[in-house]
Amino acid sequence: MKFSTCDNISSLSADSWNQLAGDNPFCQYAFLAALECSGAVCEQTGWIPKHLLIENDSGELIAAMPMYEKLHSYGEYIFDWGWADAYRRYGYAYYPKLLSAIPYSPVTGPRLLTTPEHSHSNELFDNSLRFIQSLLNDGYSSWHCLYPTQEESDMLQQLGLLQRTNSHFKWRNRNYRCFDDFLQQMKSRKRKQIGKEHARARELGITFEQRAGNDIREQDIETFYQFYQLTYLKRSGHGGYLPLEFFQSLLETMPEQLLLINAQRNERTIAAAFFFVGNNALYGRYWGCIEEHDLLHFETCYYQGIEFAIEQGLALFDPGTQGEHKVARGFEPVSVFSNHMIGNEDFAEAIANHIERENLYTRQYLAAMRERLPFKQIES
Beta-bridge partners for 341: 143
- At residue 181 the predicted structure's pLDDT band, cuts being 50, 70 and 90, is very high
Question: Where exactly does CATH 3.40.630.30 map onto the chain?
Answer: 2-168+334-370, 174-314
Q: How far is 168 from 177, CA to CA, in rounded Å?
A: 25
At residue 378, the pLDDT reads 60
Average pLDDT over residues 158-171: 97
At residue 377, the pLDDT reads 75
Least confidently predicted of 170-179, 237-246, 258-267:
237-246
The amino acid at 78: I
pTM score: 0.95
Beta pairing class for 142-146 and 97-100:
parallel
Q: Find all residues with CB under 8 Å of 103, minimum gap 6, and list them.
A: 35, 40, 41, 47, 68, 75, 241
What is the tens place of the pLDDT at every residue in 82-135? 999 999 999 999 999 999 999 999 999 999 999 877 776 788 999 999 999 999
Contact 91, 97 (CB under 8 A): no
At residue 123, the pLDDT reads 86
At residue 234, the pLDDT reads 85
287 pLDDT more than 70: yes
Dihedral, CA atoms, 31, 37, 42, 47, nearest 10 degrees? Answer: 0
Average pLDDT over residues 307-325: 93
Per DSSP, the chain holds a count of helices (H) and strands (E) of 12, 15
- At residue 40 the predicted structure's pLDDT band, cuts being 50, 70 and 90, is very high
Average pLDDT over residues 58-71: 96
At residue 185, the pLDDT reads 94
At residue 120, the pLDDT reads 65
Looking at domain 174-314, does it have CATH number 3.40.630.30?
A: yes
Q: How far is 284 from 302, CA to CA, in rounded Å?
A: 8
What is the tens place of the pLDDT at every residue in 319-377? 988 788 899 999 999 999 999 999 999 999 999 999 999 999 999 999 999 999 999 87
379 pLDDT more than 70: no
Domain 2-168+334-370: CATH architecture, name and number where available: 3-Layer(aba) Sandwich (3.40)
Q: How far is 345 from 169, CA to CA, in rounded Å?
A: 34
